[in-house]
């Protein structure tokens, strides 16, 4: 037996009336195009059995669609913070997002995290999706341009550590560059950076030799063949990537500059940016963010031996003035000299 129905819903907010048509109901299974997160009062439903429309019925109800319940005032968050494109396992960024949504639940209500569409993992592609409203938020290093494109949630997910860049390369290349002592020697090293990362502009502006890369995965063979010598990556990401591709990491020095890695929310969702800022602040205050960071990333920081490295400090002219460098609790203690 098959029922077809059509429903028109009027939002309780008279300034923003909305109308939604929901598709086909078969038995108790609902098919719908969207999930509503606001309360609706008068619902007019027309049911059709075969070719005959039954009388309209008015009721005061909440709407249940998509094989589940969308409660009133539920915050729906579309994101792509997974281990890879095919995975359903949250990566570190996804875990941080879940934490701060949970910390804000008492004030802002329930939430749903949904996997958003993404063709590839390039940052330029992600920003385009953010601006078109296909994703509700992304995560990225900040810059003036990026803070114009999205709403920054100014709490650094990596406590500033992505500004510590450790070179990754072949065994022979790394061995030859371990004894580097001064900036003049660094200037002669051919580095690689992904073109749409702020690091590319930062390192180029500092006068370093930087080869333009499309992405990390497609550049590994170029690195192994000698098209460039080192790929500097953040202290909390370089070791797992080097291990994955059978590469080595420099152990005696690193490039250092101040930077921040934020959630960026679409400008269409300022209420979400507000919620995430509130939740992040709560997680900082109660220590839960520090606990997550310590569990997921602190072993990588300790293994990198930052205290024993020579740091080649460069400027970051693309760091916005609004970056909260003065709040020491937001940054890793090892960065006290780098951020000054």
Quick one: 56 and 106 in the same domain?
no
Quick one: 121 and 247 in the same domain?
no
Quick one: 142 and 25 in the same domain?
no
Quick one: 166 and 249 in the same domain?
yes
Domain assignment present for 129: yes
User: CA of 81: how far to CAs of 51, 94, 145, 274, in Å?
Assistant: 46, 5, 22, 20
Domain assignment present for 314: no
Domain that holds residue 271: 75-160+260-304
Quick one: 117 and 31 in the same domain?
no
Domain assignment present for 335: no
Quick one: 54 and 14 in the same domain?
yes
CA–CA distance, 272 with 137 (Å, rounded to integer): 9
Per residue, the 3-state secondary structure of 230-288, as one string, reads EEEEECCCHHHHHHHHCCEECCCEEEECCCCEEEEECCCCHHHHHHHHHHHHHHHHCCH
Q: How far is CA 233 from the centre of its chain?
A: 17
Closest by CA to 37, choosing from 72, 84, 2, 76, is: 72
What's this model's pTM, rounded to 2 decimal places?
0.77
Quick one: 191 and 240 in the same domain?
yes
Which one of 31, 60, 89 terminates a domain? 60
pLDDT at 134: 84
Per residue, the 3-state secondary structure of 110-166, as one string, reads CEEEEECCCCCCCHHHHHHHHHHCCCCEEEEECCHHHHHHCEEECCCCCCCHHHEEE
pLDDT at 6: 36
Quick one: 242 and 122 in the same domain?
no
Which one of 192, 221, 256 terminates a domain? 256
Domain assignment present for 119: yes
Domain assignment present for 245: yes
pLDDT at 124: 66
Quick one: 133 and 199 in the same domain?
no
Quick one: 243 and 291 in the same domain?
no
Domain assignment present for 334: no
Q: Residue 222 is part of a domain; what is its CATH number? A: 3.40.190.10
Closest by CA to 232, choosing from 287, 311, 297, is: 311
Domain assignment present for 65: no
User: CA of 53: how far to CAs of 27, 130, 226, 300, in Å?
Assistant: 17, 42, 72, 65
Do residues 6 and 21 lie in contact, with contact meaning Cβ atoms separated by under 8 Å? yes
pLDDT at 121: 57
Per the structure, the count of domains in the chain is: 3
Closest by CA to 58, choosing from 122, 127, 131, 7, is: 7
User: CA of 119: how far to CAs of 123, 146, 212, 301, in Å?
Assistant: 11, 20, 21, 31
pLDDT at 209: 97
pLDDT per residue, tens digit, the chain (340 aa), is 333 333 333 333 333 433 333 333 333 222 333 343 333 333 333 434 344 444 444 333 333 333 344 445 899 999 989 987 778 899 999 999 999 999 999 999 999 999 987 655 566 677 777 878 889 999 999 999 999 989 999 999 999 999 999 999 999 999 999 999 999 999 999 999 999 899 999 999 999 999 999 999 999 999 999 999 999 999 999 999 999 999 999 999 999 999 999 999 999 999 999 999 999 999 999 999 999 999 999 999 999 999 899 999 999 999 999 999 999 999 999 987 655 5
Which pairs with CB-CB distance under 8 Å and at least 24 residues apart come from 59-68? 63/9, 63/22, 63/36, 64/30, 65/22, 65/30, 65/32, 65/34, 65/35, 65/36, 66/30, 66/31, 66/32, 66/35, 67/29, 67/30
Domain assignment present for 192: yes
CA–CA distance, 192 with 271 (Å, rounded to integer): 38
User: CA of 326: how far to CAs of 134, 156, 332, in Å?
Assistant: 34, 13, 12
Quick one: 55 and 84 in the same domain?
no
Quick one: 87 and 221 in the same domain?
no
Which one of 238, 256, 274 terminates a domain? 256
3-class secondary structure, 26: strand
């Amino acid at each position: 037996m098959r029922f077809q129905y059509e429903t028109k819903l009027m939002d309780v907010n008279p300034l923003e009336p909305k109308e939604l048509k929901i598709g086909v109901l078969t038995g108790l299974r609902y098919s719908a195009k969207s999930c509503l997160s606001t309360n609706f009062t008068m619902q007019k439903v027309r049911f059709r059995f075969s070719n005959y429309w039954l009388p309209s019925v008015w009721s005061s109800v909440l709407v249940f669609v998509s094989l589940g319940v969308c409660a009133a005032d539920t915050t729906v968050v579309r994101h792509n913070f997974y281990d890879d494109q095919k995975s359903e396992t949250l990566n570190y960024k996804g875990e941080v997002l879940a934490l701060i949504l949970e910390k804000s639940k008492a004030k802002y209500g329930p939430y749903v995290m949904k996997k958003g569409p993404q063709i590839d993992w390039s940052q330029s592609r992600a920003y385009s999706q953010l601006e078109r409203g296909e994703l509700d938020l992304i995560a990225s290093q900040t810059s003036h341009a990026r803070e114009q494109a999205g709403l920054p949630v100014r709490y650094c997910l990596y406590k500033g550590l992505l500004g510590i860049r450790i070179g990754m390369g072949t065994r022979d290349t790394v061995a030859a560059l371990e004894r580097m002592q001064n900036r003049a020697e660094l200037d002669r090293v051919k580095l690689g950076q992904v073109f749409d990362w702020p690091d590319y502009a930062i390192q180029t502006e500092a006068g370093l030799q930087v080869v333009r890369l499309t992405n990390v995965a497609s550049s590994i063979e170029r690195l192994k063949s000698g098209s460039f010598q080192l790929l500097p990556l953040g202290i909390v990401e370089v070791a797992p990537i080097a291990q994955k591709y059978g590469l080595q990491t420099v152990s005696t020095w690193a490039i250092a500059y101040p930077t921040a890695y934020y959630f960026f929310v679409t400008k269409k969702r300022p209420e979400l940016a507000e919620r995430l800022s509130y939740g992040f602040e709560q997680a900082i205050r109660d220590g839960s963010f520090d606990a997550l960071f310590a569990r997921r990333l602190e072993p990588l920081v300790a293994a990198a031996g930052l205290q024993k490295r020579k740091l080649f400090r460069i400027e970051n002219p693309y760091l916005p003035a609004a970056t909260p460098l003065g709040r020491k609790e937001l940054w890793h203690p090892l960065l006290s000299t780098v951020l000054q």
